[in-house]
Structure 1
Amino acid sequence: MGEEGAPNGTLGPVLLFRMDKAPNSPDSRLTPERSLSTAVLAPSRTFLFLCDLQKFLSEVLPGEKLESLPVQTAPVSLDTLQSLPPLTLGDSASEPLLLGLLNSSAPTLFSFPRQLSELQEHRVELALQPPLLAMLRLRLEEAVAQMVRESVGGRDIMDRLLRLQELSVLPREGEDPPAGTQGNPREAQYRALLLLKALQTVLGAWEEERGQRAARGGQEGPGKGNVCQLHSLTVSLKKYVLNPPTTNIKNCQGACSFPLTNTNNHVILLNSHWESGFPLERPPCCVPVDYEDLQVAELDGAGTKISIKPNVVAKACGCR
């Protein structure tokens, strides 16, 4: 390890590596990007899925490219919004929770940690009963088919969607999973549920974008331009790494005059009093009268929690 008479009588430390694989094997090389742990442990299917899911959402819903009204400049922190107690996804998740997620059409935001490497040990399993599993499979197939029909994102987006499908395949009862897709079937149920919520959010955003184009093109129909009705209002959100980074909460605007929209007896009398020339400090206003919740899937190394932010997205307008 050294020779007598070395300069200053000192010896430097020696670090030895033993490589059991053939010298030309690609796995036998250690690089600065490749640690001993990653050389031994391959990433899980769930980790690969989450990496692809984040890229998919970032590519298909880039906030700066959404055709919408101007985005609010100051981002709103999700932590400032009222929230129901978070619900934990896992094999002990209740059937009503899972059924509610499958039936909900509310948009879902995905909160990722700052570094995706924090999700390397992320494992979540679901234990869906056969009826719910069949419902999940059907809803996911329908959402994928609609994505393929519209193919708004182009070839690259469709390729990534195919990869996400492969990582969350749900074989039918009695069928073997396709070759190369073997894994924990309960983790596959979890990945399939996340993919369904992501696709529902994407499809909903695309539908909103079409509606905005139609409104700008004057295709709403004659006489509807100034009537109390829903309009798009996109706000910027802040919560670590959030996909999509914005959400369309919508808003109501338009005139409240006969025929009144979605009104009640109080507003009818109020409007009659105002139109008869009597002064009012506040005439009837066009406001939201029904709301939809916002779902946030918060992912971290410990698992996944679903946070419900109630009354976020306006669904219907009325004169009040």
Structure 2
Amino acid sequence: MKQLLFIFIFGQSLLFSQTKNIISFKTEWEEFALNNDTDSLIEDKTEKSIFFINFLFNKKKDTIFINKSEILSEIDNENKFINRLTVDVSNNKANLLVWNKNYTDTIVLRFHHQERAVQINNDLYSLTNEYYSFFKKKVLKDRNITEIIDFLDDELGNYFLPAEIFLIGSKSKYRKKFRIKNATIKTIKVDSDGLDSWKISFLYDKKGILEIQKKGIDDEISYLKRRKYIDFEKIIFEIEENTVKRNTITQQEIYLSNKKQKIKQQNIQYGLNITTFVKNESKKILNDKQ
């Protein structure tokens, strides 16, 4: 797989000699933690930082390079980028290849025309006719990675994508009010070997997605995503996730223009008796440049 990934990346890298599109975001990150017993600040878990997230891609967006840096320098050289994504299409399926210096992974997308369903690895998503036709074209014909990222941005399965990539998702499913009917997903167990099975339900209104629920075989909700606000510019979601080890509540503010994103998170770790708070705001500072 590593050899295959190198071949694809090398071939796509040649395209950058003709055109280079660059997008950069300035990110302000703040994190601190409290001891739940004393309600006091934990000094060694307090952090503030400012850094840049840079994306380099060709016009088709079928290969994307990602890096993080403290300064904006040498961002036009793909060798400086630590994450790389590229898509390969054959036999009515697409392989999204993800690489960084620590691991390589492949996300396989298969399209089932009769069922109007998309299979992501071993997970199955049932779509409306309109969304299925749109997404199939964008992936199999256009090879557009930003559409795949948009499809997966709820992070319902174990896809192990770099978190930064969601900054440049296409936002098509929000702008066009596309609908996923339901999904069945398997994820790695948190506390033991094996897999957990989940049923995903999606609730919509005339403005688009309203709620997503992720339930186990016992009907217990482990993931609940609710829309709190929407206008022509942005959508605000509240997401609650529960596992045996932690409870996480996230407020996610996404902008349909991809100009910025705001995230606030509260994470209660049961075993450590710690609550961690995170604030993360990213703003686009460079438009596409060549």
TM (norm. structure 1) is 0.29
Q: Which has the higher contact order (CA 8 A, sep 6+)?
A: 1
- Structure of larger gyration radius: 1
Relative to total residues, which structure has the larger helix share, 1 or 2? 1
Bigger strand share: 2
| TM norm structure 2 | 0.32
